[in-house]
């Protein structure tokens, strides 16, 4: 008899425990974070625009495509804000005496104004407010600063750069809250308006970052509220302007990827695997190496993927890398090695060019006897015949293995001859590729103004062919 009682009590305790577990997991799923937003009621009829910062002095031909300026795009977003502005940025440096810094100053003043109007401003950063005047001033006025101790998590850095405004509008791209991003640097990003379905997922990356604020350890398991909503198997279907599109967001490093969250490297694989004709890649640095504290390791993943696309699938690949005095000389070795894979394979097509604003700068300065700051192309995107990936990383091993960053993949398979964001991005790539700033050969490290003029003439000629 007492044995039976024991069994009954045991069974009851088990039932109770299971019930409690179920209730807690349900609470965890329906977190208060999401403002009642769900996959069923979110807005998926969105508008999209490319934004670019083109530094002063850079000129393309008159017929070259041009897009909304980054500054105007960001100001539009801030002007729309009624409730909240969430910003993740690698840099927080908007003040400088250089004339090109005035847009950074305007942006800062606009943010201060929003704080004073009680719009909720959350800023994710891997530097402490005491280390940045911008963060400190905004915090003093009432913005919330969420500090992520990136050195505590595998010695990485926060390279993520995205915004979420009113849980409806999104920016993602290469530019950070740095006066140079609005001045001397060439940057590219994308703004998506009225798109709470996309926010639903990107917000979870933001929430993951904010869950780490002032913590020195990543939790052993992530809350279900931070799991990815969409992935490569289950993409989000959207209208972007008039074009039907499928999108998903990616995140890195692996340490920050809960269940169902696509890694940036997987997102890039997905886009390259889906390409049928071409893959155009624009990055500041291309270096398949991981630099550890006291060693270098070959990091073959993206390099290998390009090789596979070239020789096994006959995909045409174009790689546009920035050149500056800081470009690692090994870049040229890896590029030569990539080119060698096409030897004696007739249908294999790889071309690499270096986008060099410095040589022109140097020559310009010599003529003007002027002091100016270096200009650099910091674009970080890839475009194919059917998709675009816009991210926060250069194609350097450390970015993907250690640093935090996010990306957006947009698939638009059957656009016909309509303009779309993917076609616009392709046109931007081609504008840069055929411009006189893009050079096929290894640029000289010492600026030679005579060479510069000759190269320019040659570049113009080859662009015609
Ligand atoms: C760029 O501008 C300069 C001066 O305004 C002009 O001399 C040069 O031809 C322009 N280049 C292009 C490609 O338009
Ligand atoms: C960040 O983490 C490192 C390594 O764990 C630690 O030494 C440092 O004190 C932390 N910084 C802050 C501000 O918490
Ligand atoms: C977003 O939607 C609102 C309401 O439908 C509309 O008034 C606004 O113009 C839209 N914004 C953009 C950028 O299309
Ligand atoms: C440098 O050039 C800029 C325009 O490019 C000009 O406004 C400025 O006055 C020049 N500075 C000097 C010291 O010549
Ligand atoms: C092209 O755009 C028009 C209107 O802008 C739209 O009706 C049509 O469906 C689009 N075609 C494709 C293939 O997307
Ligand atoms: C492009 O689209 C227009 C209608 O939007 C159509 O009349 C035209 O034939 C199309 N051109 C090609 C080459 O498909
Ligand atoms: C989408 O529409 C907006 C206006 O609502 C426009 O500014 C933008 O350039 C369009 N984007 C594309 C890719 O056509």
Closest atom of ligand 2 to 128 CA is 13
DSSP state of 341: T
The CB density around residue 325, as the number of other CB atoms within 10 Å, is 11
Q: What is the pLDDT of residues 239-274, one digit of tens each?
A: 999 899 999 999 999 999 999 999 999 999 999 999
Q: Is residue 356 included in any domain, yes or no?
A: yes
pLDDT of residue 23 exceeding 70, the answer is no
Q: Is residue 375 included in any domain, yes or no?
A: yes
DSSP 36-77: T--TTTS--EEEEEEEEE--TT----TTS---EEHHHHHHHH
3-class secondary-structure state, position 17: helix
Whole-angstrom distance, CA of residue 62 vs CA of residue 317: 27
Report pLDDT for 102. Answer: 93
Q: Is residue 327 included in any domain, yes or no?
A: yes
Q: What is the pLDDT of residues 390-401, one digit of tens each?
A: 999 999 999 999
pLDDT band at 339 (very low <50, low <70, confident <90, very high): very high
Whole-angstrom distance, CA of residue 216 vs CA of residue 328: 32
DSSP state of 378: -
Q: Are 334 and 421 in contact (CB under 8 A)?
A: no
Could you tell me the CATH number of the domain that includes residue 154?
3.30.870.10
The two most distant CA atoms of the chain are separated, in Å, by 103
Q: For residue 80, report the distance from its CA to the centre of ligand 3, in Å.
A: 10
Q: Is residue 98 included in any domain, yes or no?
A: yes
Q: What is the pLDDT of residues 182-213, one digit of tens each?
A: 999 999 999 999 999 999 999 999 999 999 99
Q: What is the pLDDT of residues 274-300, one digit of tens each?
A: 999 999 999 999 999 999 888 999 999
Report pLDDT for 29. Answer: 47
**Percentage of residues in the chain with pLDDT exceeding 70?**
85
Domain count, the chain: 1
Is the dihedral angle over the CA atoms 319, 325, 328, 329 positive or is it negative?
A: positive
pLDDT of residue 464 exceeding 70, the answer is no
Q: Is residue 9 included in any domain, yes or no?
A: no
Domain limits at 301?
35-464
Q: Is residue 422 included in any domain, yes or no?
A: yes
Q: Is residue 23 included in any domain, yes or no?
A: no
Beta strands 177-178 and 120-125 are: unpaired
Can you tell me the mean pLDDT for 54-73?
94
Q: Which of 97, 370, 375 to mutate to test the pocket of ligand 4 (most atoms within 8 A of CB)?
A: 370
Q: Is residue 140 included in any domain, yes or no?
A: yes
Average pLDDT, the chain: 89
Q: For residue 376, report the distance from its CA to the centre of ligand 4, in Å.
A: 19
pLDDT of residue 465 exceeding 80, the answer is no
What would the two tokens of residue 359 be? 């040589």
Report pLDDT for 441. Answer: 73
């Amino acid at each position: 008899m007492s044995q039976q009682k024991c069994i009954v009590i045991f069974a009851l305790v088990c039932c109770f425990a299971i019930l409690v577990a179920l209730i807690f997991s349900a609470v965890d799923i329906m977190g208060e974070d999401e403002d009642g937003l769900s996959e069923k009621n979110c807005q998926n009829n969105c508008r999209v625009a490319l934004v670019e910062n083109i530094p002063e002095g850079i000129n393309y031909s008159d017929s070259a495509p041009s897009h909304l300026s980054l500054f105007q795009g960001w100001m539009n977003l801030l002007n729309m804000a009624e409730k909240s502005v969430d910003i993740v940025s690698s840099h927080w440096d908007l003040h400088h005496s250089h004339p090109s810094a005035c847009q950074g100053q305007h942006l800062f003043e606009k943010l201060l104004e929003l704080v004073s109007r009680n719009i909720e401003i959350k800023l994710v950063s891997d530097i402490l407010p005491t280390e940045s005047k911008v963060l400190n001033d905004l915090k003093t006025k009432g913005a919330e600063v969420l500090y992520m101790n990136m050195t505590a998590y595998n010695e990485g850095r926060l390279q993520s750069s995205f915004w979420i405004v009113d849980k409806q509008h999104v920016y993602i791209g290469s530019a950070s809250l740095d006066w140079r991003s609005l001045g001397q640097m060439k940057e590219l990003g994308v703004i998506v308006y009225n798109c709470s379905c996309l926010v639903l997922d990107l917000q979870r990356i933001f929430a993951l970052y904010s869950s780490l604020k002032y913590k020195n350890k990543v939790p052993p398991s992530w809350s279900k509220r931070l799991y990815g909503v969409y992935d490569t198997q289950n993409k989000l279907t959207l209208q972007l302007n008039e074009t039907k599109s499928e999108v998903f967001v990616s995140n890195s490093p692996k340490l920050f990827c809960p269940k169902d969250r696509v890694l940036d490297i997987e997102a890039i694989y997905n886009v390259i695997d889906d390409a049928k004709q071409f893959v155009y890649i624009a990055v500041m640095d291309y270096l398949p190496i991981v630099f550890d504290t006291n060693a270098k390791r070959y990091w073959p993943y993206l390099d290998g993927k390009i090789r596979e696309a070239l020789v096994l699938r006959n995909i045409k690949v174009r790689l546009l890398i920035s050149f500056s005095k800081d470009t690692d000389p090994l870049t040229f070795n890896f590029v030569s090695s990539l080119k060698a894979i096409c030897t004696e394979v007739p249908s294999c097509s790889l071309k690499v060019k270096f986008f060099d604003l410095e040589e022109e700068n140097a020559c310009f300065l010599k003529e003007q006897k002027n002091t100016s700051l270096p200009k650099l192309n910091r674009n970080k995107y890839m475009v194919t015949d059917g998709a675009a990936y816009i991210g926060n990383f250069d194609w350097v091993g450390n970015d993907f293995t250690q640093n935090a960053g996010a990306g957006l993949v947009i698939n638009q398979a059957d656009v016909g001859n309509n303009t779309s964001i993917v076609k616009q991005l392709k046109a931007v790539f081609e504008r840069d590729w055929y411009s006189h700033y893009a050079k096929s050969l290894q640029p000289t490290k010492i600026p030679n103004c005579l060479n510069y003029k000759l190269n320019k003439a040659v570049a113009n000629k080859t662009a015609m062919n």
